[in-house]
Amino acid sequence: MPLNPDRILYEDEHFLAVQKLSGELVVRGAGKLGKLPLLDFLRQDHPGLRPLHRLDFETSGVVLFAKTKEAYEAAVPAGKGDDAEVPWTKSYVTLLAGKVKRDHGEISTPLPARSGRGLIPALTRFKVLERFLNATFAEAQIETGRHHQIRRHFAKIGHPLAADQEYGDRKFNRVFIQELRFHHFFLHASSLSFIHPFTKQPVRIEAPVPKAFQAVLKKLRKAVGE
C-alpha cells in the first residue's frame, strides 16, 4: 500500500519529503516494532532512499529523504557525523510550560554530543506566537541537530515542553494532562528550508499542524477568553 498522497510534501528526482506522524518511527531502533518504520515503508516504492535527518517518536512534521546516494552525498558532505552542522534550516512549533516573558530570544547552551564525547555548540532561536493562562505557543528554529536539542534547550530556560515526561515539569504535566486529556508533548517540524544542491534554488517545505495539536490550542484559547 503506497503512502497517502496527502503526506507527500515535496518530491523531485533527487529528494522526497513527507509528513511524519506523531507516534511513528523514521528508522528502526533497538526496541520492539509496533509498526513498520517510515523509511522501511517508503523503500517499498523507493529502494535507494536514505534519511537526511530524523525526528523523535512523538515529534511530527517534515522529514526529508535522499532518493539516491549522489543526492545524499550532495546534501550531507562525506565525513560529517550526526553532530555536524547541516545546510538547512528547520522550524518547529511547540507548546511550552508557563508563560515565556520574552517575545523572542536565543538559547545557546552546549549540549552532549551523540557520540558521548563531551559538549558541543548548539543554538535554538525562538519566537513567542501566543501566550495562554499558563502555557506558551512558540516557534523554534535550529541550524544544528543535536540530540533532543529543542526539548533540552527549553528545559534549560525553565519552560520545558508541555507533557514532556523526560525533561518536563512533573507538576505542570500532571495538571496539563488532567485538564486537556492529552498525554504527549507537542513538537511539530513545521518547515524545512535549504538550497537545492543540484538546481541551486531555495526550497521551502511546509507541513500542516496536526489536528490533535490544533484541538489543544483551541481549548487553550477558549480558556483565555472565558
What the block records as the C-alpha cell of 136 is 506558551
Instruction: Using the predicted structure, report yes or no on whether residue 10 has a pLDDT greater than 70.
Output: yes
Assign residue 210 the CATH number of its domain.
3.30.2350.10
Task: Give yes or no for a contact between 193 and 202, defined as CB atoms under 8 angstroms apart.
Answer: yes
The answer, yes or no, to whether residue 92 has pLDDT greater than 90, is yes
**pLDDT exceeds 70 at position 86:** no
* Residue in the block written with cell 483551541: 218
What's the chain's Rg over C-alpha atoms? 18
**What is the domain count for the chain?**
1
By C-alpha distance, which of 56, 53, 73 is closest to 64? 53
Which structural domain range is residue 25 located in?
A: 5-77+84-225
Query: What is the pTM (predicted TM-score) of this model?
Result: 0.89
Q: Is the pLDDT reported for residue 187 higher than 50? A: yes
pLDDT tens figures, 28-40: 765 445 567 899 9
Q: Which amino acid is at 218?
A: K
Model confidence pLDDT, tens digit, residues 206-223: 999 999 999 999 999 998
Given pLDDT bands bounded at 50, 70 and 90, which one contains residue 61?
Answer: very high
Least confident of 9-13, 48-52, 96-100, 177-181: 177-181
Q: Check whether 151 has a pLDDT greater than 70.
A: yes
Tell whether the model's pLDDT for residue 9 goes beyond 70.
yes
pLDDT band (50, 70, 90) for residue 83:
very low
Q: Which of 99, 147, 153, 145 is nearest to 126 (CA)?
A: 153
* pLDDT at residue 223 in the model: 86
Query: Which residue in this structure is represented by grid cell 528502526?
Result: 28
Q: What are phi and psi of 177, to 5 degrees?
A: -65, -40
- What amino acid positions are annotated as catalytic residues? 56
- Evaluate if residue 81 carries a pLDDT over 60: no
C-alpha 120/C-alpha 83 separation (Å) is 8
Residue 188: C-alpha distances to residues 60, 92, 213 (Å): 5, 5, 9
Higher pLDDT, 84 or 138: 138
Percent with pLDDT over 70 in the chain: 91
Q: What is the DSSP letter of 157?
A: T
What cell numbers appear for 162 in the block? 508541555
- Give me the pLDDT at residue 147, please: 87
Q: How many helices (H) and strands (E) does the chain have?
A: 5, 12
Higher pLDDT, 175 or 2: 175
Cβ neighbours around 21 below 10 Å, total: 13
Q: What are phi and psi of 74, to 5 degrees?
A: -70, -35
Would you state the cell numbers that stand for residue 224, as one nine-digit string?
483565555
The DSSP element (H or E) to which 175 belongs, if any, is: helix 170-180
Contact by Cβ (8 Å): 184, 118: no
